[in-house]
Amino acid sequence: MMVFNLWVIFIIMFIVGNLIFVSKHKHLLIVLLSLEFIVLSIFFFFLIYLSYVDYNLYMLMVFLVFSVCEGALGLSILVSMIRTHGNDYFQSFNLL
């Protein structure tokens, strides 16, 4: 019963993160925060799954390293965009 409750929490976290990602697409900062929330929910899923099957949790460390690199890359893109365009609106600059 407890494992089922954790699965429900994971699914709700993942769906809410995706809804925020789809609905708030005007600001880069909100998009990056929703991506980090999705990564956190996937980390939570890996933690539940690997604990349930009594597997080595070494893969969690690898996943955390990649998620930190993804966060640092997103933050550097955000800083670069704010320095060049003055804000983080997607509508204020051309991709071409």
Q: What is the CATH number of the domain that holds 51?
A: 1.10.287.3510
Spans of the chain below 70 pLDDT: 1, 3, 88, 90-96
* Domain limits for position 68: 2-92
In this prediction, residue 96 carries a pLDDT of 44
Report how far residue 89's alpha carbon sits from residue 25's, in angstroms, rounded to the nearest whole number.
Answer: 9
Residue 89's SS3 state is: strand
In this prediction, residue 24 carries a pLDDT of 79
Count the domains in the chain. 1
What b/e sequence results for 31-69 when a residue is b if at least 16 CB atoms lie within 10 Å of its CB, and e otherwise? bbbbbebbbebbeebbeeeeeeeeeeeeeeeeeeeebee
The structure tokens listed for 12 are 């709700």
In this prediction, residue 16 carries a pLDDT of 92
In this prediction, residue 72 carries a pLDDT of 92
- Encode pLDDT of 19-34 as tens digits: 988 997 778 888 888 9
Report how far residue 9's alpha carbon sits from residue 37's, in angstroms, rounded to the nearest whole number.
Answer: 13
Spacing of C-alpha 44 from chain mean position = 12
